[in-house]
Amino acid sequence: MKDPTSPATSNASSVAWPPIAVPGQGLPRDRERTEQQHDSAGATADASTAVPNRNMLDTQSAEASTPALVPDSADDAAPDAPEATGGGSTAGAGTALLDDLRTAIGRYVVLPSDEALTAVTLWVAASHIQPALQHAPRLAVVGPTKGCGKSRLLDVLYETVHQPMMTVNTSPAVVFRVIGKNPPTLLVDEADTIFGPKAGDKEDLRGLLNAGHQRNRPAWRISGPEHKPTAFPTFAMAALAGIGDLPDTIMDRAIVIRMQKRKPGERITPFRSRYSVPELHALRDRLADWLVPQRGTVAGAVPTMPVEDRAADTWEPLVIVADLAGGHWPALARAACLAMTRNEVVQDEQTTLKTRLLRDIRRVFAQEGSKEALRSQDLLAVLVQDAEAPWAEYGTKGLNAYHLANLLRDFGISPANYRFENGRQAKAYARNQFVDAWARYCPDPAPSAPTAEVPARLTSGRPPAPPSGTLPTGPPGGPIGPGPTR
């Protein structure tokens, strides 16, 4: 059925719905009014525009198998009741709905792991309760090259999340004005154009995405004909896709999906609007039927988290949805949370380690007189002998040629056959391969600008003290010669 909360609509009446996409009773024609009725206390249903008994659904409780949800007040602690899902479904329908959504996403996109598929499924579902959340987790969809499925994943998200807004090249002023009490879900493709060297005048959008992770972090701007300071809300969930890692401030607030190119044996269902969009819209409608009435409940939910600090803030909305669904989803969500946060810790350590390796290799080249190339074995020998470096304990037997090549691969650096002065040929690393990486990842400190010499002022009643160096000085009371060189 037509969904006014999504920019993308389809003529579902002319297309046969796939078996997995039966939407039950669907949504009322006026979704926005229905959501307002659920969110306001004591609201009554309008029988002319709503599905019968739609607003009679219990919005105060989830399944009895949701031990991690803690009500915000005694009013929220209601007896067990059936889940609020479309078509009068019974307890356990949330589990089946998330299973259907997980299957549909996996049909169109090859994600790097089962945990990543679980995370994306829960992130989509969490977008439908974001007006009740305290944190809006980002979904960082990154890959080493183009053709890894990043844009296809955004296509699937666009048809399933709450009120999607694609921001490929959107003005920051537009984004500021569309985020309100019921924020959209931002989908940013080609995010490297925002955060990379081509960012240009997109600093406002960068700041918005950073601030919008947490509620009550408005952006202040001068607005209107009277030029009054105006607070624009920034809180909104966002998925960002781009080549390479995003800035640390974004990655630290995101569930990171590291996409890879499909292998020859990995097949997916082609994404065709005529068939795919109605199926995904049906799942989106079922999610809204189930989760929109739950917003009052989740506002006070405090689930037990397997992680702490910002990682807990980021993953909490996903765990809340999993606990609402019950069944195997609470365990799946927490396992995915642990696995993916640990993977990012390893990624951070590897990034730091690679930067350390670049610095150490630069030092070795400097010690060797900045030769054009160094044999791989000679370079390894010097690195491993450094007692303060981690290379002697890297791996099981210390850093070897394979490890070295693997660590440098991301920088576009690899060994090659090189003929030295004595005529012998060996695998070696050329110095000019490192110049670009050194400049980007571990630049030399900028040399201090030379300062003009200024004659010292005489202290009243005292002659100036002579310099400690051996350079000649003028007579007492006269001009002082240059200070000692350093």
Q: Which burial class, exposed, middle or buried, applies to 83 when counting CB atoms under 10 A from its CB (0-12, 13-18, 19+)?
A: buried
Over residues 67-77, the pLDDT tens digits come to 333 333 333 33
How many residues in the chain? 486
Q: CA–CA distance from 88 to each of 23, 56, 280, 290, 293 (Å)?
A: 12, 11, 20, 10, 13
CA angle centred on 321, ends 93 and 213, rounded to 5°? 155
Which is nearest to 51 in space by CA: 78, 13, 92, 23?
A: 23
Please check the confidence at residue 270 and state whether its pLDDT lies above 80. Answer: yes
DSSP codes joined into one string, 458-475: PPTTSPPPPPSSSS----
Contact 187, 154 (CB under 8 A): yes
Which is nearest to 98 in space by CA: 70, 71, 117?
A: 117
Please check the confidence at residue 461 and state whether its pLDDT lies above 70. Answer: no
Helix (H) or strand (E) holding 155: helix 150-160
**Strand 238-243 to strand 138-143: parallel, antiparallel, or no bridges (unpaired)?**
parallel
Helix (H) or strand (E) holding 196: none
- What is the residue whose two structure tokens read 């951070």? 348
Residue bearing the bigger pLDDT, 68 or 397 = 397
Tell me 14's DSSP state. G
Over residues 37-53, the pLDDT tens digits come to 444 434 333 433 333 33
Please check the confidence at residue 448 and state whether its pLDDT lies above 60. Answer: no
Over residues 158-169, the pLDDT tens digits come to 999 999 998 776
How far apart (Å, rounded) are the C-alpha atoms in residues 320 and 312? 11
Which is nearest to 68 in space by CA: 298, 228, 274, 371?
A: 298
**Strand 425-430 to strand 373-375: parallel, antiparallel, or no bridges (unpaired)?**
antiparallel
Q: What is the pLDDT of residue 316?
A: 95
Tell me what the pLDDT averaged over the chain comes to: 75
Q: What is the pLDDT of residue 366?
A: 92
Contact 28, 48 (CB under 8 A): no
Contact 292, 50 (CB under 8 A): no
Which is nearest to 315 in space by CA: 336, 291, 344, 294?
A: 336
- Contacts for 151 with CB less than 8 Å, ≥ 6 apart: 189, 241
Quick one: average pLDDT of 125-153? 92
Q: What's the token pair of residue 81?
A: 């009741």
Q: What is the pLDDT of residue 199?
A: 53
Over residues 192-246, the pLDDT tens digits come to 777 655 555 566 777 788 888 888 888 788 877 888 888 888 899 999 998 888 8
Which is nearest to 106 in space by CA: 263, 266, 339?
A: 266
Sheet with strand 254-258: strands edge to edge: 164-166, 185-188, 238-243, 138-143, 254-258
pLDDT band at 90 (very low <50, low <70, confident <90, very high): very low
Q: What is the pLDDT of residue 170?
A: 67
- How many C-beta neighbours within 10 Å does residue 64 have? 11
Q: What is the pLDDT of residue 195?
A: 67
Residue 404, phi then psi, degrees to nearest 5: -60, -45
Per DSSP, the three-state class of 138 is strand
- How many C-beta neighbours within 10 Å does residue 175 have? 24
Over residues 346-387, the pLDDT tens digits come to 887 777 888 889 999 999 999 999 899 999 999 999 999 988
- How many C-beta neighbours within 10 Å does residue 391 have? 21
Which is nearest to 344 in space by CA: 256, 441, 247?
A: 256
Quick one: average pLDDT of 51-76? 35
Bridge partners (DSSP) of residue 375 are 428
Please check the confidence at residue 250 and state whether its pLDDT lies above 70. Answer: yes
- How many C-beta neighbours within 10 Å does residue 162 have? 25
Q: What is the pTM of this model?
A: 0.60
Which is nearest to 165 in space by CA: 191, 144, 185?
A: 185
Q: What is the pLDDT of residue 202?
A: 62
pLDDT band at 5 (very low <50, low <70, confident <90, very high): very low
Per DSSP, the three-state class of 172 is helix
Q: CA–CA distance from 229 to each of 224, 226, 373 (Å)?
A: 9, 9, 59
Bridge partners (DSSP) of residue 141 are 241, 257
Please tell me the least confidently modeled range out of 82-91, 294-303, 341-350, 474-483.
82-91
Contact 284, 3 (CB under 8 A): yes
